[in-house]
Amino acid sequence: MNPTLPLSPARAPTLSDVARQAGVSHQTVSRVLNAPHSVAELTRVRVLEALRELDYHPNRAARSLVRGRSGLLGLIGYSDPHYGPAQMRLAIEGAARAAGYGLGVASVPELSVAEVGQALEHLLEQGVEGVVLIMPLQIEFEALLPLLERVPCVLLGTTPKIPFAGAAIDQHLGAVLATRHLLERGHRDIGYIGGPDSWSDAQARRKGFVDTLKGVGLQAAGLEGGDWTAAGGYAALHRLLERAPQCSAVLTANDQMALGALRAARVRGLWVPEDLSLVGFDNLPESEYFEPPLTTVHQDFRTLGECGIGLLLAQLGGTAPPEPVTFCLEPALVVRSSTLELNPM
């Protein structure tokens, strides 16, 4: 990489400046901005570093005239504060920016056909070239086909039953990994605190938990529903232990509910993990600072968001395969101090 080029304060950096900074041609910089998957990885990284160092911002209006395109992508997401969707959104915004695109965002208060349809119409009116939809809840996508077929689309957070590209994290596998961990540590009376049934992730995690127990001839000591919040986890653990006081371990469907469960256990005079082992899901940045540090299932939401933009750009660049591709990323178990070994299997 060349030393940063001095520029006049009155002049914004150009593609030629970026090309000199990265030691590549003007055409290569243009390909990185417009069709990044056509450029070798090392070259693409050099160009992206030069873009950042020079603080280059593409002139979308000028590019639109040249390309006959808007230079704008769309994102439809559920307007909630939950960790996973928020991380995906940040990754999507960053990946779109790195590829030289602007991003129009439409947040919907509920994932209904009517709300998502209105959001799609709004983005289409802005001339978006493609749309990423973060869809953590169940929805009848078939009713949206007339709109979805008007623009390249990628669905994130669900496995689509319609012919569109998508990417998701294997929620069932994540619950299997967490449940196996508790079984391997000797636990047989295992309870579960799940998320709202309307969420596809919650359904898959619960099924992974139940399936794993069934595979070794066991049933759940208790199943309680939650709402993804610490308060919901707090109330759910109280209900669970009132109905199944023999529980030696509990799997919660996210880390925030695990935080509430930790508090509920302490209020009941129980110590984690000496009296009750606890496993979460998501691997929040704060989870290793819980007391005790939380064993949990890591999900790479940022890679998922970047994958969504990559799938969309492949469609726009004409490099996508004939049949829509669906990627399923694997989660990983992160073992910390909130689980205790009893009698190994």
CA 227 remoteness from chain centre: 18
CA 131 remoteness from chain centre: 16
Q: Which CATH architecture has domain 171-299?
A: 3-Layer(aba) Sandwich (3.40)
Q: What is the pLDDT of residue 14?
A: 75
Q: CATH top-level class for 15-57? A: mainly alpha
Q: What is the pLDDT of residue 273?
A: 97
Q: What is the pLDDT of residue 323?
A: 77
Determine which helix (DSSP H) or strand (DSSP E) holds 6, and give its type and residue range: none
Q: What is the pLDDT of residue 37?
A: 61
CB 106 within 8 A of CB 122: yes
Of the CA atoms within 13 Å of residue 255, those in its CB half-sphere come to 25
- Return d(Cα 249, Cα 38) in angstroms, integer: 50
CA 247 remoteness from chain centre: 31
Q: What is the pLDDT of residue 112?
A: 77
Mean pLDDT by 10 residues, the chain (345 residues): 46 76 82 68 83 69 52 86 84 90 88 83 89 80 77 82 83 97 97 93 96 98 96 98 97 98 98 98 96 97 91 88 83 97 66
**Residue-wise pLDDT tens digits, 220-264:** 999 999 999 999 999 999 999 999 999 999 999 999 999 999 999
CB 115 within 8 A of CB 109: yes
Q: What is the pLDDT of residue 8?
A: 40
Domain ranges (residues) in the chain:
15-57, 67-170+301-330, 171-299
Of the CA atoms within 13 Å of residue 209, those in its CB half-sphere come to 31
Q: What is the pLDDT of residue 159?
A: 64
Instruction: Tell me the whole-structure pTM to 2 decimals.
Output: 0.77
Q: Do domains 15-57 and 67-170+301-330 have the same CATH topology?
A: no
- Return d(Cα 339, Cα 249) in angstroms, integer: 8
Q: What is the pLDDT of residue 86?
A: 86
Determine which helix (DSSP H) or strand (DSSP E) holds 41, and give its type and residue range: helix 41-54
Contacts of 52 (CB under 8 A, 6+ apart): none
The residues facing 166 across adjacent strands are 155, 326
CB 278 within 8 A of CB 252: yes
CATH assignment of 67-170+301-330, among 3.90.190.20, 3.40.50.2020, 3.30.1600.10, 3.40.50.2300: 3.40.50.2300
Q: What does each C-alpha distance from 75 to 20, 131, 308 come to in angstroms?
A: 34, 6, 10
Q: What is the pLDDT of residue 234?
A: 98
Q: What is the pLDDT of residue 5?
A: 46
Give me the DSSP letters along 209-256.
HHHHHHHTT---SEEEE--SSHHHHHHHHHHHHHH-TT-SEEEESSHH
Strand duo 190-194 + 72-78: pairing: unpaired
Contacts of 242 (CB under 8 A, 6+ apart): none
Tokens of 137: 């809840």
Q: What is the pLDDT of residue 57?
A: 62
Contacts of 143 (CB under 8 A, 6+ apart): 113, 117
- DSSP letter at 324 equals P
Q: What is the pLDDT of residue 345?
A: 47
- Return d(Cα 272, Cα 260) in angstroms, integer: 13
Q: What is the pLDDT of residue 7?
A: 45
